[in-house]
Amino acid sequence: MRKLLPILLLLTAACGDRTPPEPEPQNIRPARVMTVALQGEDNLNEFPARIEALQTVDLSFEVGGPLARLPVKEGEAITEGTVIAALDPKTFELALQEAEVQLRLAAQDLNRKRKVLAENGIAKSIVEDALSNYELQRVRLAKARESLSDATIRAPFDAYVARRYFDQFVNIRPGESVVRLLDLTRLQVVFNVPERLAATGNPAEIQRAWVEFPFAPDESFEMTYYENRGEAAAVAQTYEVSFLMSNPAAWNILPGMTATARIRTRSDGNGQLLVPASALVPAADSSLTVWVYDDATQTVAQRQVVTSAPQKSGVPVTSGLEPGEQIVVTGASQLQAGMKIRPL
């Protein structure tokens, strides 16, 4: 009986709680998602964008000294040539006066020695030394004038004062940034495009490009292609492109604001559903599948599709997908059924 007691206890414990353990929560994987749409003669792409200044400049002094004037304020618009900051000029004015006196003395010494040389009273080499000293003093005078000029910073263009790094009476070192200026005459609209568009897109195919802001829902602002970065982002594998837009007078649009960029281009996929090749995943039976994303559950499900011959702008899907559905276009090969993702 004593030998049977431990066995009975083990059987009782094993039969007690048959509830399966709770599944461990999985990490939500980030993935790039696109909405499938019919491609007509014109293809409309939409991107979240941010605004940047056409030019950003940190201004600094080439000489050092106490900061005597800093009349500009952050958030102020200034015109070209406006005084932005100035050092205490006393030291530079004294250096200029000294250089002027030294030049006069050198000129007088040179004239005297030339007269004596004319009477064969001194060697020619002494006059040449006096001439070299005179030229040296001219250079020192020019440097003194330049230092006095460098003690004042003026706006190189019509600008917007984004930041002041110091207040007055601070001792400034040469090359130390004092203010940051932004050129807002035109604005950059910056956004990222997937590698599919970077590889197949051509600025010449753009029919229209415009940008919209959430604070101006009934307005659109035209933009033109400017440049694109040749290196992909490390995580998302997208490429940064920039467009230019005029700064509208009716709105105070500043760098850092968010917008929606829309680009309408010509397409070679008339009436077809085009998907990037990166969205297609081979199945075990050699068929092709895509991962369809469900907004409500934030999960993905694998679905078989039928495709035709690839085109320059993507792979046509003849069945298995409907317009408006969302599919994963990057990282599809690493997904599993029911996995949660965070759309990029």
> Could you tell me what percent of the chain has a pLDDT over 90?
57
The ranges of the chain annotated as CATH 1.10.287.470 are 89-150
Q: Of 13-17, 108-112, 115-119, give the range with the top mean pLDDT.
A: 108-112
Q: Tell me which amino acid residue 199 is.
A: A
Band of residue 38 on the pLDDT scale cut at 50, 70, 90? confident
Residue-wise pLDDT for 294-323, tens only, equals 988 989 999 999 998 887 778 889 889 998
Task: Calculate mean pLDDT across residues 128-147.
Answer: 95
Band of residue 68 on the pLDDT scale cut at 50, 70, 90? very high
For 72-140, the three-class secondary structure string (H helix, E strand, C coil) is CCCCCEECCCCEEEEECCHHHHHHHHHHHHHHHHHHHHHHHHHHHHHCCCCCHHHHHHHHHHHHHHHHH
Residue-wise pLDDT for 51-62, tens only, equals 999 999 999 999
Cβ–Cβ < 8 Å for 144, 101: no
Strands 29-35 and 341-343: parallel
pLDDT of residue 266: 67
Helix 124-150 vs helix 90-118: crossing angle, to nearest 10: 160
Q: What would the two tokens of residue 325 be?
A: 């559905």
pLDDT of residue 71: 94
Mean pLDDT of the chain: 86
pLDDT of residue 23: 44
- Per CATH, the number for 89-150 is 1.10.287.470
Class of the domain covering 29-39+271-343? mainly beta
Contacts of 224 (CB under 8 A, 6+ apart): 209, 243, 244, 245
Listed residue (266, 265, 255, 263) closest to 212, CA to CA = 263
Q: Look-up: residue for tokens 């930041």?
A: 163
The CA R_g of the chain, rounded to the nearest whole Å, is: 36
pLDDT of residue 271: 64
Band of residue 224 on the pLDDT scale cut at 50, 70, 90? very high
Task: Calculate mean pLDDT across residues 17-35.
Answer: 66
The ranges of the chain annotated as CATH 2.40.420.20 are 29-39+271-343
- Per CATH, the number for 42-55+186-266 is 2.40.30.170
Task: Calculate mean pLDDT across residues 249-273.
Answer: 83
- Contacts from 128-132 at CB under 8 Å and sequence distance 24+? 130/106
Cβ–Cβ < 8 Å for 268, 305: no
